[in-house]
Amino acid sequence: MKNTHKILISIFSLMILFSLLNVGSVAAQETPTEVTGDTLQAQLNADTQYNYRFRVRTQIRIKANVNIDLNINCEPINIGVKDFALEISTDQDLEMTMTCTEEQQELGLLKGNIYQARSRNRFQYDEGFCIRIQTNATNQLQAKLMIEATPQNQASTWAYYNEATGEWVSVPTTVENGYLVANVDHFSYWTILLPDYTLAIIIGIGVGAGALIAVLAIYYWKKR
């Protein structure tokens, strides 16, 4: 009986030790490399996650299945506290430049602006995070864009700028593990847009009021 207790205690102790070691390794992996300026040049190895934080504000995490020669230009003072992650899958090493800004005035992307797509859907830009990704990729690639979901943006969608049509195009976006996620097959200007339902509400109220007036008119007509 005593031997059984000793074995159980030993197993339990080993489980605690492995758990602590695992927690420590995860914490170390998630600890960002602090960048004091607004630019970064780095060589990223394949299948390794890299985590950078600019001026203790804007955090960028990158992981790819290939090696990357990376250049980042970021505006953390304007962007503020944001947590962005990028995962890439392709079949060739990449040279990649990332530019992170709060707005893109030349593309009409200004905080608080309302945009109407060709589908007549309306969107509002409040996120204050726009990223442009450029690479030398000549073959097809798959990527996952992720930004931390907040009470303010959790109903938003990822969108890219279509240079041919000069408009922002939203793409399917899901919430996974606390992040807004979009699976994409190309790089461009990307941002987060919030669907604007103001016009739909006004139209709905108008339709409802019109229907009510019609019902009342029919009612009074029958009463006469």
Express each pLDDT in 99-143 by its tens digit: 999 999 999 999 999 988 777 889 999 999 999 999 999 989 999
Task: Output the pLDDT for position 65.
Answer: 98
Q: Looking at the structure, do residues 50 and 22 belong to the same domain, yes or no?
A: no
Higher pLDDT, 138 or 62: 62
Exposure of 99 in the CB half-sphere (CA atoms within 13 A): 8
AA identity, residue 178: G
* Residue linked to tokens 């009986």: 1
pTM of the model: 0.75
Helix, strand or coil, per DSSP, at residue 87:
strand
Our count of domains for the chain comes to 2
What kind and span of H or E run contains 63? strand 58-64
**Cα separation, 161 vs 108, whole angstroms:** 10
Q: Looking at the structure, do residues 64 and 8 belong to the same domain, yes or no?
A: no
Sheet of strand 142-148, all strands in order from the earlier edge strand to the far edge: 33-35, 50-54, 58-64, 82-89, 142-148, 179-184, 174-176
> Residue 23: which domain range?
1-31
Q: Evaluate whether 132 touches 191 at the Cβ level (below 8 Å).
A: no
Task: Please report which confidence band the pLDDT of residue 204 belongs to, taking 50, 70 and 90 as the band edges.
Answer: very low
Q: Looking at the structure, do residues 1 and 64 belong to the same domain, yes or no?
A: no
Q: Looking at the structure, do residues 187 and 99 belong to the same domain, yes or no?
A: yes
Judged against a pLDDT cut of 70, whether residue 17 lies above it is answered with no
Among 189, 126, 181, 184, which residue's Cα sits nearest to residue 161? 189
| Residue-averaged pLDDT of the chain | 83
Q: Evaluate whether 52 touches 85 at the Cβ level (below 8 Å).
A: no
Cα separations in angstroms, 40 against 22, 69, 185: 30, 11, 25
Task: Output the pLDDT for position 3.
Answer: 52
Of 92-101, 183-192, 194-203, the range with the lowest mean pLDDT is 194-203
Q: Looking at the structure, do residues 142 and 116 belong to the same domain, yes or no?
A: yes
Q: Looking at the structure, do residues 58 and 79 belong to the same domain, yes or no?
A: yes
Classify residue 208: in a domain, yes or no.
no
Judged against a pLDDT cut of 50, whether residue 8 lies above it is answered with no
Among 74, 58, 161, which residue's Cα sits nearest to residue 109? 161
Classify residue 214: in a domain, yes or no.
no
Task: Output the pLDDT for position 21.
Answer: 39
Tokens of 91: 């079949």
Q: Looking at the structure, do residues 60 and 149 belong to the same domain, yes or no?
A: yes
Averaged pLDDT, 15-20: 39
Of 29-38, 123-132, 180-189, 202-211, the range with the lowest mean pLDDT is 202-211
